[in-house]
Chain A
Amino acid sequence: MVLSKYIVLFFLLITSVSAEVKLPEISTKQATNNLRFISKDGKFSYYQRRSGSLLLSTNYNVEEVLKGKEGSQYKVTSSPSQKFQLIEQNENFHTYLSIRKLNNIYISNYGEKKIRKIGEGVDARLHLNDSWVSFFNPYKMIISFIGLRNLGSSFEIKLQNTKNPYFIPQRVMLNDKSVLFTDLNGNAISGLIEFNRNTGKSDLLLKAENEYSKYELCTHKEKLYIGSFGIRSVSKYSSITQYSRKNFQISKGSIIYDSKYNDRGSIICNSSDDNIYFIQNTKGINGEESYEAASLDPKTKKVSTLSNFKWVSSIINMDDRLILPYHGKFYLMNPEKVQKTNDSLLNKNKGAK
């Protein structure tokens, strides 16, 4: 395999001396703070420049994808279907400090540079094998869905939430007709709602006991996972429930994980190893309040702690690379899987160590 001149990815086994669980740190020839996306096979990457451009780097070739104002910030995502890339552009990242500010949302074919703008909003996501895209407008509290197979097909869901201006809804599509999403009612109590495109009606499926817990949604192959996590100490409980996506019925789930502590959640369920990854409150394990990345085997229900940082706030699935950002650095949670790919850069990695 010819290696990309720009995507030199290797791992340094840099971990805290006292760490029991050691995660390799990601290091690349291209400064990691410029990187926005590296493909699963390492053949292309997106990175940005301070000048405001987003660039696509492939084998011995670099092309400009987008040109923005100086200081523009980009977010690049994809899904396991690998049909499209979603790009969010924030042109006033440092000069307009607003969490709700709308980004320009673009789409391109997976690993390609030709883009088209599909709207303005935040938190763009791909659904149903990349046949739909959704994004959220926090000012209007509207989720917009746009069909990617049939141009012109689109619909919107208006949320009820008026109490938390910073709420971002979770949403998944069960099929072309049915959407599950989260919302807050007038008392800011979280609810799980099913929207039927045919009837235009919404049905409340689950309602939290109080306003101190949240729901998370995640789909993978034929499975749907619903996470329920307490967010205040008066509501201590976490659970992850597995459902069949095809024959979804809210009463027919099976709880594959629960805890009497408030986990942070951030469920990743679409990794190719079929495991669930999430951020767990490890008070029950080591006696003190701390948050670590954990994996859950949905078959055996076995939970394994993957990190040893105490205050993990995020975990990311970047094209099947599971990444843990911490203190400005990036750590790989599934290095063994990356080694299985035909990415000979990893040989270099060994040398680097």
Chain B
Amino acid sequence: MSQAYIFPTYSQEDLEAKIETTPGIIESLLEIIDIEKTQYSALIKEAETKSLLITDDNQVKEIKLDPFFVKSLLLNSENRYLNFLKDQKDECRLISLFQNNLIKTSRGLVNRVIVNYIDKDNERKRALLTRSNFLELYFKKKCINNKELGKLFETPNLSKTMKNINLLTPTTENQCIQILNDWQKNPNTPFLCGLHETISRGEKAKTILPALSTIQRNRRSVLQSRINTAERLIPQVPYFQRTYLKNLCENIDNQKNFCDKYLAKDIWSQVATGEKPDYLLKFKCKNVLGKKNITKNDLRKCALKFKNEPKYCLSNGNKNHLSTYPLENCNDLSDSYNNSQLVTKYHDCPGSVDNEGIVNTHRLLSHFRKSEYSSTEFTCASEANLTFANLNIKANNSNGWPLKICFKNLATELKECYPYVPGASRNTNLSEDLVISKIIKKTERTPFDVKCKLVNSNIYNPNRLGYKTGCHIVYDPSNCTSIHCPKNIYFETKLIDYLLYEGKVLYDYFPTSFSNEKYATSNLINDSLKKESKLIRNLTALKFFFQNTKTGIIHGIGCAEDLYPNIFQRISMNECKPVPFIIDGIIQDKDKTTLVFRGAISDIHTPRNIAWNMIFNAVANYKELHPLETWTLYGIK
């Protein structure tokens, strides 16, 4: 194997070797490696006797790596990096691999180098040099470009260098082959792979270090140093570049593996490589792994699972975020995502909100504002309600958010009411738990602040110490949505029965009369976003809309019986369950056109590919029932 990479200048020559340098042909590879190890140790021992520090380059007339040392490097290094040397006569390539720690001896990474040099008396000698001493000396004699390139990848210059490097992602197979060939010849590649290896070594060290005994101080110190080095580099190399380099360096000699990552159409791989935004996978991944925060490694795990098990997505990914069920398969989701443009940095829960207009409004506004929410099972409903409440409150539409908690003030004998948004939220004083806390502090005249907590009735037990004090808002999860949720409120175990929930969220999504047109949600959305809507009457208009926008989306209302015929059956004339929806993409596959559809009762991270005819049918049937016979399908961009 190593024979192919022997440079003319590194061939065996006149130095007397006390060791056998050419193993016999009948030994197995393991034996060869074993022999090499022994020989290398002997050589190191010999060289150690002549350990050298050369401070003046006049001390040596010529210097090179000892041929046996090179042989050891070639035998013990990874083949993928040795491929850089293939068909190359340029020894500077070898030095650049060495410079970037991409090659190693049987003792691992190289700190000391065995060299052959000709001293000032013209005598050829073998000696041991430190790695840095060798490189310093070598660059004075040869490969000055390597030194200059190396500087570009040093910490002070790295950010700038990385900004200027163009990491091309292929879209066709031919392009991919060309890109990989170019990288194999590019003198920067060993330096880029050096970065990748340093980061990768740091990551590996992170996993090993905790398991290492404290007695192994030297080993621990090496690992800690690797972690520190990697952590210094990571902020300077963005995620996309890191994943690109990982794919490039790990597959530099494997065109198929390198290209598969980019030519794969599946969205999951594209998210894992950083080509597509992580929110497309993050929320589903959080959900299936049951984690609050997920790492890049988790994302990769999920991507692999979703790619290899298309059925998995049918039943996983929306736990605690109720919506229609079952979901869609991973391949169909991937097709949708490859053509969709809705920004979804949150995970709402239509089943807990129970008002599809509010859900759709939240989705529309969050898309254009690129809003991000934590969306736990406890906050996912209040996030949507709050978006809708704020939209109406800011538009001075006092009727738009009529939900109030009222009580009779015993001091003034007057009824007092406070607006609230259902559920618990840390982001607003309108949050239901905070509003109740404020009222109870007032009515129960406690000197201390009251903090009411929402408690599931299955968990609430007044006999337990934890529930004997404080304020608890108890709800039955099997009979609770944010709009319909009977509750019992207990303060110090006393049932608070004087609070009255008043109001109902009634609004026009699209105008149903000319008099109330201004306050229809569709118009409030346009005003708030300072955008205009365009009526979409047919498929041609829809195609034209998407051809001319990269951020625009379409929203509308149609009958659920036509949009979800497997769930809702129509049994009488003009029966219709109006449901708002968003269309955020179009999929052209040969002569077949489908649309990326997000119904307001569906999981936000489960777009569905449906035919235009279904949308048209749903909107047309709803139009017949609309008071103004409005065609309820509009594009916003």
Enumerate chain A interface residues (CB-CB to B < 8 A): 32-38, 50, 71, 73, 75-77, 92-100, 139-141, 162-168, 187-188, 211-212, 214, 229, 231-234, 264-266, 279, 291, 310-311, 313-314, 316-318, 323, 325-328, 330
Query: Which residue in chain B gives the minimum CB-CB distance to A167?
Result: B567
| Interface flag for B505 (CB, 8 Å) | yes
Q: Give, as a whole number of angstroms, the nearest-CB distance from B481 to chain A.
A: 7
Query: Given A36, A188, A212, which contacts B573 in the complex, CB threshold below 8 Å?
Result: A36
Q: Give, as a whole number of angstroms, the nearest-CB distance from A286 to chain B.
A: 15
Interface 9-mer from B169-177, B318-326, B425-433: B318-326
B507 near A311 (CB under 8 angstroms)? no
B325 near A188 (CB under 8 angstroms)? yes
B565 near A314 (CB under 8 angstroms)? yes
B512 near A94 (CB under 8 angstroms)? yes
Residues on the B chain within 8 Å of A33, using CB: 574, 624-625
| Interface flag for B354 (CB, 8 Å) | yes
Query: Given A50, A279, A318, which contacts B565 in the complex, CB threshold below 8 Å?
Result: A279
CA distance A24 to B31 in the complex (A): 88
From known contacts A232-B314, A311-B617, A327-B616, infer whether A164 and B324 are also in contact, taking CB-CB under 8 Å. yes
Q: Give, as a whole number of angstroms, the nearest-CB distance from B510 to chain A.
A: 9
Residues on the B chain within 8 Å of A34, using CB: 574
Interface size range on B against A: 35 or more
A311 near B508 (CB under 8 angstroms)? no
Query: Which residue in chain A gives the minimum CB-CB distance to B485?
Result: A139
B624 near A140 (CB under 8 angstroms)? no
A313 near B614 (CB under 8 angstroms)? yes
Q: Which 10 A-B residue pairings sit nearest by Cβ, starting from the closest? A: A314-B570, A165-B351, A328-B620, A33-B624, A97-B357, A164-B325, A311-B613, A313-B565, A95-B506, A313-B562
CA distance A77 to B505 in the complex (A): 29
Q: Give, as a whole number of angstroms, the nearest-CB distance from B612 to chain A.
A: 9
Residues on the A chain within 8 Å of B574, using CB: 32-36, 325
Residues on the B chain within 8 Å of A214, using CB: 566
A327 near B572 (CB under 8 angstroms)? no
Query: Which residue in chain A gives the minimum CB-CB distance to B560?
Result: A99
A sample of 21 cross-chain residue pairs with beta-carbon separation below 8 angstroms, ordered by A number, consists of A35-B574, A75-B575, A95-B508, A95-B512, A98-B354, A99-B560, A99-B579, A140-B479, A141-B478, A166-B568, A187-B315, A188-B315, A211-B315, A211-B325, A231-B326, A232-B328, A313-B614, A317-B571, A328-B623, A328-B624, A330-B573
CA distance A162 to B318 in the complex (A): 13
B509 near A97 (CB under 8 angstroms)? yes
Known: A316-B571, A318-B572. 8 other contacts (CB 8 A): A34-B574, A36-B573, A76-B573, A97-B580, A99-B579, A140-B478, A188-B325, A316-B573
| Interface flag for B36 (CB, 8 Å) | no
From known contacts A94-B626, A97-B509, A139-B484, infer whether A166 and B324 are also in contact, taking CB-CB under 8 Å. yes
From known contacts A94-B508, A313-B614, infer whether A211 and B326 are also in contact, taking CB-CB under 8 Å. yes
Q: Give, as a whole number of angstroms, the nearest-CB distance from B626 to chain A.
A: 7
Residues on the A chain within 8 Å of B508, using CB: 94-95
Query: Which residue in chain A gives the minimum CB-CB distance to B579?
Result: A99
| Interface flag for B417 (CB, 8 Å) | no
List which B570-606 residues lie within 8 A (CB) of chain A. 570-580, 600-601
A139 near B479 (CB under 8 angstroms)? yes
A96 near B570 (CB under 8 angstroms)? no
Query: Which residue in chain B gives the minimum CB-CB distance to A330?
Result: B573
B621 near A327 (CB under 8 angstroms)? yes
A316 near B506 (CB under 8 angstroms)? no
B329 near A234 (CB under 8 angstroms)? yes
Q: Give, as a whole number of angstroms, the nearest-CB distance from A52 to chain B.
A: 11
Residues on the A chain within 8 Å of B141, using CB: none
Q: Give, as a whole number of angstroms, the nearest-CB distance from A301 to chain B.
A: 24
| Interface flag for B92 (CB, 8 Å) | no
| Interface flag for B561 (CB, 8 Å) | yes
List which B540-576 residues lie within 8 A (CB) of chain A. 557, 560-562, 564-576
CA distance A188 to B569 in the complex (A): 19
| Interface flag for B210 (CB, 8 Å) | no
B617 near A313 (CB under 8 angstroms)? yes
Residues on the B chain within 8 Å of A95, using CB: 506-508, 512
| Interface flag for B235 (CB, 8 Å) | no
| Interface flag for B383 (CB, 8 Å) | no
| Interface flag for B356 (CB, 8 Å) | yes
B572 near A71 (CB under 8 angstroms)? no
Residues on the A chain within 8 Å of B131, using CB: none
Interface centre among A35, A36, A97, A140 (most CB of B within 10 A): A97
| Interface flag for B494 (CB, 8 Å) | no
Residues on the B chain within 8 Å of A168, using CB: 567-568
| Interface flag for B382 (CB, 8 Å) | no
Count CB-based A-B contacts (< 8 Å).
158
List which B318-374 residues lie within 8 A (CB) of chain A. 322-326, 328-329, 351, 354-357
Q: Give, as a whole number of angstroms, the nearest-CB distance from B287 to chain A.
A: 14
From known contacts A140-B479, A313-B565, infer whether A99 and B577 are also in contact, taking CB-CB under 8 Å. yes
| Interface flag for B535 (CB, 8 Å) | no
CA distance A229 to B569 in the complex (A): 14
A77 near B329 (CB under 8 angstroms)? no
Enumerate chain B interface residues (CB-CB to A < 8 A): 311, 314-315, 322-326, 328-329, 351, 354-357, 478-479, 481, 483-484, 504-509, 512, 557, 560-562, 564-580, 600-601, 611, 613-614, 616-618, 620-621, 623-627
CA distance A325 to B505 in the complex (A): 31
From known contacts A164-B325, A166-B567, A231-B326, infer whether A98 and B572 are also in contact, taking CB-CB under 8 Å. no
The interface residues of chain A, by DSSP majority, are classed as: loop
Residues on the B chain within 8 Å of A229, using CB: 566
Q: Give, as a whole number of angstroms, the nearest-CB distance from B459 to chain A.
A: 16
Interface centre among A50, A264, A314, A327 (most CB of B within 10 A): A314
Residues on the B chain within 8 Å of A77, using CB: 571-572
Query: Which residue in chain A gives the minimum CB-CB distance to B619?
Result: A328
CA distance A311 to B560 in the complex (A): 14
Query: Given A73, A96, A212, A317, which contacts B314 in the complex, CB threshold below 8 Å?
Result: A212
A71 near B325 (CB under 8 angstroms)? no
CA distance A326 to B620 in the complex (A): 8
B573 near A318 (CB under 8 angstroms)? yes
Q: Give, as a whole number of angstroms, the nearest-CB distance from B629 to chain A.
A: 8
Interface centre among A34, A50, A73, A165 (most CB of B within 10 A): A165
Q: Give, as a whole number of angstroms, the nearest-CB distance from B403 to chain A.
A: 13
Residues on the B chain within 8 Å of A264, using CB: 565-566
CA distance A100 to B560 in the complex (A): 12
CA distance A104 to B578 in the complex (A): 17
B509 near A316 (CB under 8 angstroms)? no
Query: Which residue in chain A gives the minimum CB-CB distance to B625?
Result: A33
CA distance A162 to B320 in the complex (A): 11
Residues on the B chain within 8 Å of A71, using CB: 512, 627
From known contacts A95-B512, A140-B478, A311-B613, infer whether A100 and B624 are also in contact, taking CB-CB under 8 Å. no
CA distance A211 to B315 in the complex (A): 8
Q: Give, as a whole number of angstroms, the nearest-CB distance from B311 to chain A.
A: 6
Q: Give, as a whole number of angstroms, the nearest-CB distance from B563 to chain A.
A: 8
B569 near A266 (CB under 8 angstroms)? yes
CA distance A297 to B571 in the complex (A): 21
Residues on the A chain within 8 Å of B567, using CB: 166-168
Q: Give, as a whole number of angstroms, the nearest-CB distance from B439 to chain A.
A: 26
CA distance A62 to B584 in the complex (A): 47
Residues on the B chain within 8 Å of A325, using CB: 570, 573-574, 621
CA distance A325 to B565 in the complex (A): 13
Residues on the A chain within 8 Å of B613, using CB: 310-311
B329 near A327 (CB under 8 angstroms)? no
B572 near A316 (CB under 8 angstroms)? yes
A311 near B356 (CB under 8 angstroms)? no
A139 near B571 (CB under 8 angstroms)? no
CA distance A71 to B624 in the complex (A): 13
From known contacts A98-B483, A141-B478, infer whether A163 and B325 are also in contact, taking CB-CB under 8 Å. yes
CA distance A167 to B571 in the complex (A): 16
A50 near B572 (CB under 8 angstroms)? no
CA distance A164 to B351 in the complex (A): 8
CA distance A211 to B316 in the complex (A): 12
Interface centre among B509, B568, B575, B626 (most CB of A within 10 A): B575
